[in-house]
A = this chain, B = another copy of it.
Amino acid sequence: MSHQKFKDCIDACSECAVECSHCESECLNEQDVKMLARCIKLDHDCAAICLFAMQAMASGSEFTEKICKLCAEICTACAEECEKHAHMEHCKNCAESCRKCAVECSNMSKLSTVK
């Protein structure tokens, strides 16, 4: 087994983790940070699960399916929140990366052959 079959999903997770960490940081530079509190928290959780999913896929973890399922859920929640303030470039970019990653992780979580 190779980690190549996970390539698209790993790439999506990597990009999503980066966009979430960036969005989290940029939110703290905005004028009305208070309004972005949930966004910041979800960015944090989303970056963390994406990095975890990357490692799971790269190492062929037997929990890859379940980790990717949870990753898809957190990505979706983060995308929904970021889309509420998509007039901010960082939230717009983050939402797009989260949506893409949610699709990839959702597909991955349904692979019955993932080991």
Q: Which residues of A contact B (CB under 8 A)?
A: 3, 10, 14, 17-22, 24-25, 28-29, 31, 33-34, 37, 40-42, 44-45, 47-49, 51-52, 54-56, 58-63, 66-67, 70, 73-74, 77
Contacts and interface: CB of A to CB of B under 8 A. Distances in A.
Number of copies: 4
B62 A56 contact: no
A-B pairs with the 5 shortest C-beta distances? Answer: A21-B58, A25-B59, A33-B33, A28-B37, A14-B14
A37 B10 CA distance: 23
15 contacts: A3-B18, A17-B55, A18-B54, A22-B60, A25-B41, A41-B59, A41-B61, A44-B59, A45-B56, A45-B62, A48-B52, A63-B73, A63-B74, A63-B77, A66-B73
